[in-house]
Chains A and B, each alone.
Chain A
Amino acid sequence: MGESKEELAFQEKIDNDIKIEPKDWMPDEYRQMLIRQVSQHAHSEIVGMLPEGNWITRAPSLRRKVGLLAKVQDEAGHGLYLYSATESLGIDRIKLIQQLHNGESKYSNIFNYPTLTWADIGAIGWLVDGAAIMNQVSLQRTSYGPYSRAMVRICKEESFHQRQGYEIMTALSNGTDKQKAMAQDATNRFWWPSLMMFGPSDKDSIHSSKSMIWKIKRESNDELRQQFVDRAIAQGELIGMTFPDPDLKWNEETGHYDFGEIDWAEFKNVINGNGPCNKERIRARVKADVDGKWVRDAALAYANNV
């Protein structure tokens, strides 16, 4: 590794699990890697509001309506905490939002899939939030202080999100044949994209190794994915859901479920802009930003005048 005094001191802190704080010296690559990861995470929260937001006005009961509304609102809050952590690395939120809008910065692929039925709201809460939480719990121990603190807060708040989704799935699976079919269809569509959420396999991930040495990430993509599969299968069985993977089976030797090969070609294709909803998502964000400009300008002008 680079041997300057600062670098050695930095790595020593990391090795001793001492958090890095905004004003501390850090390698430029560490800073850039964090900006990239934390802002992507923030963007995912904000873009993630859209597919679920679709169903706020169509939630089938008032109880479901307030639950979903509160959940989507939390995502705005989580995006805010994460932008705030990114800003502590010396980059403005406004710049980060521009990077999202012009495609320079990515967000989680899963949100490029459409929400077609009410059951999708259940499946997203159960599987997508389930996968996200797996990652976020692990990230509470990340080496960058502001990121870690944001994660602690987010994990505390997220705990109702997955339950909310699983409860929807449970209600559907106890319901009419049509409702059961709706739930199964949503599970089928969201299963593979949820597995993709953990990112490329460890052997193909270009960012993973450095990220582990610097403890930005604490567990590898494949480790987290496996944990997720093991838990989700058990939860699914409890509500009578099956999973669209013929290779899925319990492996007595490893103590884990084996599962089939992820379609990485689809993953790359969607990430590169060819998912069903990539354009709509960004268009919606850009529109909100453009439509909001006169409001922000007015508030700024007012503050400068008084």
Chain B
Amino acid sequence: MSQNDSLYSYCLRLGDNSLILGHRLSEWCGHGPFLEEDIALTNIALDLVGQSRMFLQYAAELKGGDSTEDSLAYLREEREYLNALLSEQPNGDFAVTNSKNYLFSVFNYHLYSELSNSKDEKIKAIAEKSIKEVAYHVRHCGKWMVRLGKGTEESHQRLQDAVNDIWMYTDDMFESDENTDLLVEQGMAANLNKVRSNWLKDVTEQLKEATIDIPTDTWMMKGSLQGKHSEHLGFLLAEMQTIPRTFPNSEW
């Protein structure tokens, strides 16, 4: 695979992560647990879709031809999507949504910290812009982990259940392949081992403060980097892509 193709896949991975996580979050709009939090969730969703657009625009540029952010978002199929499994999981209750966003935000934070030093100028610029947004996501969702963990018996139980349920998807975020490894060597992509150890340190600390146990002996599901997703992604894409697929070759 050429470096250009590797970079293209890498940008898809990053763009898809934010797009799918942001899409899930946008499902909350109008249904939040109270007005202020409804607005906060949408703010995070907007940040994520914004990040996704930057990565997909870059990916489209790398791919060339008549590829655009929208052709990449709306005309790729399930098996071509490269987002991590965690991002596509259904929202569940607020405990699931918040845990998912928390775990992903911490990942994004350390990922973008690394990418802020990328030798690829575009990736570096996107990472530098995004990290400020993500730092806020970590703060917002992290505080909610503590509120729910230490709130009522019910909220504690819901949060523990949520973490237990989604923990199996966390390893998949750190998956890499030969092409990505090569980009890491070339100083363009993030070293995921480093991201992982920083992630685990932060998450362990925060969950401890929230009095939530980290599940042990969890079987870890992987495969997103090869486009092997959970069943949920297909439904999400069917909904998201319905208009461009029903009315091909139209401008909106």
Binding site for B on A (CB under 8 A): 46, 49-50, 53, 56-66, 69-70, 72-73, 76-77, 79-80, 83, 118, 168, 171-172, 174-176, 178-179, 284, 287-288, 291-302, 305-306
Number of interface residues of B (CB under 8 A): 49
A83 to B56, CA, bound (A): 39
Given A72-B30, A296-B33, A298-B152: A62 in contact with B53 (beta carbons within 8 A): yes
A64 to B46, CA, bound (A): 12
Contact yes or no, A49 B33, CB < 8 A? no
Per DSSP, are chain B's interface residues mostly helix, strand or loop, or mixed?
helix
Contact yes or no, A66 B49, CB < 8 A? yes
Task: Please tell me which one of the listed residues A49, A65, A118, A294 contacts residue B154 in the complex, with CB atoms under 8 A apart.
Answer: A294
Contact yes or no, A60 B244, CB < 8 A? yes
When distances are taken between beta carbons in the complex, the residues of chain A under 8 Å from B34 are 292, 295-296
A58 to B27, CA, bound (A): 10
Given A62-B49, A73-B42: A57 in contact with B247 (beta carbons within 8 A): no
When distances are taken between beta carbons in the complex, the residues of chain A under 8 Å from B155 are 294-295, 297-298, 301
Closest to B53 in A: A62
Given A56-B26, A60-B244, A76-B30: A299 in contact with B39 (beta carbons within 8 A): no
B38 beta carbon closer than 8 Å to chain A: yes
Binding site for A on B (CB under 8 A): 19, 23, 26-27, 29-39, 42-43, 45-46, 49-50, 52-53, 56, 69-70, 73-74, 93-94, 146-148, 150-152, 154-155, 158, 239-240, 242-244, 247, 249-252
Given A61-B70, A62-B70, A171-B252: A73 in contact with B154 (beta carbons within 8 A): no
Contact yes or no, A64 B252, CB < 8 A? yes
Contact yes or no, B26 A65, CB < 8 A? yes
Expressed in whole angstroms, the minimum distance between the Cβ of B55 and any Cβ of chain A is 11
When distances are taken between beta carbons in the complex, the residues of chain B under 8 Å from A65 are 26, 49
When distances are taken between beta carbons in the complex, the residues of chain B under 8 Å from A60 are 74, 243-244, 252
Task: Please tell me which one of the listed residues A118, A291, A306 contacts residue B33 in the complex, with CB atoms under 8 A apart.
Answer: A291
